[in-house]
């Protein structure tokens, strides 16, 4: 099985590249696709860049050019569920493009992708369960070995948790409590907001390829929690998301070719 691994932040991808047993690379569409073995799995690893178009383009290349069987996407997100704190991990059970609205036309509903007739892109339950299990195990056991205790204390990471739920994606950087409240009313079960995952999920849905989307909470989407974002990304989020990705890949390496 060949797995496409994508990251929305360059620092996260660079961390994984350092742990990759590299066999080659190809440059296409102003992106470098790193080929090799990570966690015992054959992978193609790419930095997607930020936004739905960038991530959709990267996912399409992974599927059409490299022929990957599954895509694993990692990145950061702003939490909107009240119990989510900095350092928690969200595994998507569904994904929605919260900025898609064709409802001015009578044939479309808000959040529905025109001509697909779908609002929420589902993730296979077995993949959600697998990602949840490995994420929580990493947070309980391995994070404390990979990240200095003083750093974890600085960011108040005492008992981070992994949860699953609806992830919202849009080409907007949400920094408004009013907007967060609006989206949580309109999208019951919404856990966090980011800028890529649902676009990747749409590409995978259209190609019949399974997807796993994992997000590390870096702040509240209304920015009520203030942290040193760059330091958190480099020192905590990158080894955290990369470490979880590797444990997931170790498990997936023994899997048969997935079917949609």
Catalogue the active-site residues.
12, 219
Measure CA 133 to chain center: 16
Contact call for residues 164 and 90 (beta carbons, < 8 A): yes
Cβ atoms of 243 and 97 within 8 Å: the answer is no
Q: Following DSSP, what letter does each residue of the chain receive, concatenated?
A: -EEEEEESSHHHHHHHHHT-EEEEEEEETTEEEEEEEETTEEEEEEE--SSHHHHHHHHHHHHHTT--SEEEEEEEEEE-STT--TT-EEEEEEEEETT-B-TTSTT--BTPBTTTTBSEEE--HHHHHHHHHHHHHIIIIIHHHHS-HHHHHHTT-SS--EEEEEEEE-SS----HHHHHHHHHHSTTEEEEESSHHHHHHHHHHHT--EEEEEEEEEETT--S---HHHHIIIIIHHHHHHHHHHHHHHHTTSPPP--
């Amino acid at each position: 099985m060949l797995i496409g691994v994508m990251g929305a932040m360059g620092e996260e991808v660079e961390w994984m590249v350092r742990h990759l047993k590299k066999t080659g690379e190809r440059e296409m569409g102003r992106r470098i696709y790193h080929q090799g073995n990570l966690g015992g799995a054959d992978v193609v690893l790419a930095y997607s860049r930020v936004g739905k178009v960038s991530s959709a383009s990267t996912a399409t290349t992974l599927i059409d050019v490299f022929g990957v069987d599954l895509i694993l996407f990692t990145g950061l997100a702003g939490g909107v569920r009240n119990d989510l704190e900095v350092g928690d991990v969200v595994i998507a059970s569904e994904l929605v493009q919260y900025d898609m609205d064709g409802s001015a036309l009578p044939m479309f509903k808000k959040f529905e992708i025109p001509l697909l007739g779908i609002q929420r892109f589902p993730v296979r339950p077995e993949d959600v369960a697998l990602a949840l299990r490995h994420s929580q195990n990493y947070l309980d056991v391995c994070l404390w070995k990979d990240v200095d205790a003083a750093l974890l204390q600085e960011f108040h990471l005492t008992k981070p948790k992994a949860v699953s739920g609806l992830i919202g994606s849009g080409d907007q950087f949400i920094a408004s409590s009013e907007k967060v409240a609006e989206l949580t009313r309109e999208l019951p079960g919404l856990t966090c907001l980011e800028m890529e995952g649902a676009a990747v999920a749409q590409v995978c849905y259209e190609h019949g390829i399974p997807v796993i989307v994992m997000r590390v909470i870096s702040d509240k989407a209304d920015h009520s929690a203030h942290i040193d974002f760059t330091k958190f990304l480099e020192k905590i989020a990158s080894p955290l998301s990369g470490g979880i990705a590797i444990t997931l890949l170790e498990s997936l390496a023994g899997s048969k070719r997935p079917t949609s």
